[in-house]
Amino acid sequence: MKYLKHVGKYFLMLRQVFKKPQKWSVFREMLFREIEDLGLKSLGIIAFISFFVGGVVAIQTALNVDSPFIPKYLIGFATMRSMILEFAPTFMSVILAGKVGSYISSSIGTMRVTEQIDALEVMGINSLNYLVLPKIIATMFFYPLLISLAMFLGIFGGYVAGTLTNLFSSDDYLYGIRLDFDPYYIQYALIKTVVFAFVIATIPAYHGYYVKGGSLEVGRASTQAVVWTSVVIILLNYFLTQMLLA
Amino acid sequence: MIEVTDLYKEFKGIPVLKGVSTTFEKGVTNMIIGQSGSGKTVFLKCLVGLHVPDSGIICFDGRKQKELDIKEQRLLRQEIGMVFQGGALYDSLTVEENIMFPLKMFADQSFSERMDRVNFVLKRVNLENANKKFPAELSGGMQKRVSIARAIVMNPKYLFCDEPNSGLDPNTATVIDNLIKEITEEYQIITVINSHDMNSVMEIGEKIILLKDGVKEWEGSNKEIFITENEAVVNFVYSSNLFRKVREAYLKETK
Ligand SMILES: Nc1ncnc2c1ncn2[C@@H]1O[C@H](COP(=O)(O)OP(=O)(O)OP(=O)(O)O)[C@@H](O)[C@H]1O
Ligand SMILES: [Mg+2]
């Protein structure tokens, strides 16, 4: 019952968010700011993690398929598929849910408890539209780029791991990643990414916006935001996979 | 004129405002006084629409707040300037950007016109050379002044100040008080100020409303506040030793 109330309130919030911005020039300025805060500033961590995850996946696969009947190019093939299908879109989105989600909910939550949101409203500004819409557009536009980079770096990480450990040859790996390549998989991954980006921008915004109390509650809301964003991403991942691939 | 009729507001069954009625005229500094927790902030937030009253009517120059749709309410709010008790400055923006923000949002002006206006109001609140600072880098009094500057930058028809000079030294407090009074008279604004500072009351209180436990106990001017026999007023005035002596001397003299 309680959850249902939150879901209802969340959708009511979205109705206020998706209004025409009151001033386009201000919207544009906010958008660029958000692209920097929510996107560019996550580039480093996403590049770092995806590179090493790719390396580990390649090594694990190499160690686990240590049988003469299984061809070595399977390592490249498996790394490629798992990076594109799951690790880049889903795993990285969960990481972003932690990093960006806590940032969004604590920054909006702080604005709420220090009455900055009230100050916006008193001026006659639609605070939800002003604060949240640029975040949604920024993440939905930028995360596909970010996740594509993660795919590439993950696969590259696998390649580097192979050359460093000599567990498989780079020729096998390069052959494997080109094997049976289907662009639809990329499409599928990017569709997921866009949906997750929406979730990462809106669920933490919801938690921050409706905070009541002081800094303690802001902290609590930000934890809640990360938990719920991750849960929703994982659930949506399941349904989207079933819908798009099965 | 703002007319408030029988305003009632409760939080979770606990009444905070119990039927307050009054009117606020333009060009006059209206003050709401009362002890901490008497409902001053809640009253002000009901006026600007941040709290929705449980019952009662608030009417801005013929516009009944309850009957406005969201769009009309936003239009009305563009005519409102508010100084929050805690300042409520946007902490990601500099002083200059804070004040320019409403202009950017609602006025079709060039950057240099906006900048001129910002510098004008900053000068008005005696705050220069702080343009590029962030709110966190300012003293409490400077934050208050930025907050006032932001509230008046759009030439509001209605100005609401929630304890604009609490936490300021007596000197700055008087400067701020007089500033608000000046602006009110100059631009014929409807100004409502929350305060529990007797100094400000004597300095600028042209119409004073005393709230006690959510009820309007008394209404009058700063001339009358010394001679009234109203118990709540006497208690409030007497909570300051200085003013007790002043009042007693005043009464003796006029006898
Ligand atoms: N959002 C809220 N939820 C529940 N109770 C509230 C809320 N806001 C105010 N109150 C209660 O209403 C009463 C009046 O509070 P208010 O902030 O109006 O006092 P005040 O007169 O402004 O005091 P001060 O001079 O200290 O600012 C207090 O008892 C407070 O606990
Ligand atoms: Mg107050």
Every domain of chain B and the residues it spans: 1-76+190-255
Q: What is the pLDDT of residue B129?
A: 86
Going by C-alpha positions, the residue among A192, A204, A141 that lies closest to residue A13 is: A204
| Closest partner CB to B48 (pick from A22, A110, A122) | A122
What lines the ligand 1 site, CB under 6 Å? B 11, 16, 34, 36-42, 85, 196
pLDDT(B238) > 80: no
Q: Please spell the DSSP secondary structure of B49-100, one letter per residue.
A: TSS--SEEEEEETTEEGGG--HHHHHHHHTTEEEEBTTB---TTS-HHHHHH
Q: Between vectors from CA A225 to CA A221 and to CA A37, what angle results, nearest 5°? A: 100
Q: What is the pLDDT of residue B74?
A: 87
pTM, two decimal places = 0.91
Position B240 confidence tier, pLDDT thresholds 50, 70, 90: confident
Rounded CA-CA distance B43/B36 in Å is 13
Q: What is the b/e burial string over B23-52, where b = at least 16 CB atoms within 10 angstroms of the residue's CB?
A: ebebebbbbbbbbeebbbbbbbbbbbbbbe
Closest CA to B121 of B191, B185, B204, B179: B179
A223-227, B15-19, B80-84, B236-240: which has the minimum mean pLDDT? Answer: B236-240
Mutate to test the interface with A, among B11, B47, B70, B84 (most CBs of A within 10 A): B84
CA nearest neighbour of A178 among A81, A55, A56:
A81
Contact A23 B78 (CB under 8 A): no
Residue B218: exposure state from Cβ atoms within 10 A (0-12, 13-18, ≥19): buried
- Cβ atoms A46, A146 nearer than 8 A: yes
Question: Is the CB of B159 inside 8 Å of chain A's CB atoms?
Answer: no
Q: What confidence score (pLDDT) does residue A90 get? A: 95
| B1-76+190-255 CATH | 3.40.50.300
Give me the pLDDT at residue A179, please: 86
Give A42-98 as a 3 state SS string. Answer: HHHHHHHHHHHHHHHHHHHHHHHCCCCCCCCHHHHHHHHHHHHHHHHHHHHHHHHHH
Residues A119, B88: C-beta atoms closer than 8 Å: yes
Phi, psi of B161 (to 5 degrees): -125, 120
Q: pLDDT tens digit string along A123-160? A: 999 999 999 999 999 999 999 999 999 999 999 999 99
- Please tell me the residue having the least CA distance from ligand 1 atom 30: B37
The residue type at A30:
M
CB contacts of A126 in chain B (<8 Å) are: 74
The residue of chain B nearest to residue A127, with distances taken between CA atoms, is B74
pLDDT by residue (tens digit) across B79-119? 999 999 988 999 999 999 999 999 999 988 899 999 999 99
Residues, chain B:
255
The amino acid at A49: I
Per the CB < 8 A criterion, the answer to whether A42 and A146 are in contact is yes
* B66 CA → ligand 2 middle, Å: 23
B16 three-class SS: strand
Q: Best mutation site among B7, B9, B11, B31 for ligand 1, i.e. most ligand atoms within 8 A of its Cβ?
A: B11
Cβ atoms of B87 and A116 within 8 Å: the answer is no
Q: What is the structure's pLDDT at A94?
A: 96
Interface test with chain A among B69, B82, B158, by most A beta carbons within 10 Å: B82
CB A243 within 8 A of CB A140: no
**pLDDT for res B188:** 93
- Assembly ipTM: 0.90
Instruction: Indicate whether B53 pLDDT > 90.
Output: yes
* Rounded Cα–Cα distance for residues A33 and A25 (Å): 13
Nearest ligand to the C-alpha of residue B9?
A: 1
Predicted local confidence at residue B249, as pLDDT: 82
The confidence band for B169, taking pLDDT boundaries of 50, 70 and 90, is confident
| Model confidence at B200: pLDDT above 80 | yes
**Gap between the Cα atoms of B200 and B194, Å rounded:** 10
Looking at residue A37, its pLDDT comes to 95
- Of the pLDDT bands very low, low, confident and very high (cuts 50, 70, 90), residue B198 is confident
| Ligand whose nearest atom lies closest to the CA of B38 | 1
Confidence (pLDDT) at A64: 86
- Contacts made by residues A5-14, CB under 8 angstroms, sequence distance 24+: A6/A206, A9/A206, A9/A210, A10/A202, A10/A203, A10/A206, A13/A128, A13/A132, A13/A202, A13/A205, A13/A206, A13/A209, A14/A202
Confidence of residue B70 (pLDDT cuts 50, 70, 90): confident
Asked if residues A106 and A220 have their Cβ atoms less than 8 Å apart, the reply is no
Q: Residue B253 and residue B245: Cα distance in Å, rounded?
A: 12
B36 vs A45: CA distance, rounded Å: 49
Contact between chains at A115 and B106 (C-beta distance less than 8 A): no
Name the minimum distance, in Å, from the CA of A108 to any CA of chain B. Answer: 11
pLDDT of residue B248: 81
- For B32-51, the pLDDT digits (tens) are 999 888 999 999 999 999 99
Type and span of the H or E element at A155: helix A127-165
Q: Measured between alpha carbons, how far apart are the two ends of chain A, in Å?
A: 32
Q: Which of residues 22-81 of B touch A (CB under 8 A)?
A: 45, 48-50, 73-78, 80
Confidence band (pLDDT; 50, 70, 90) for B15?
A: very high
Beta carbon pairs, A and B, within 8 Å: 56
Query: B89: which chain A residues are within 8 Å (Cβ-Cβ)?
Result: 116, 119
**In chain A, which residues have pLDDT < 70?**
none
pLDDT at B237: 78
Residue type for position B253: E
* Cross-chain CB nearest to B78 (options A110, A118, A123): A123
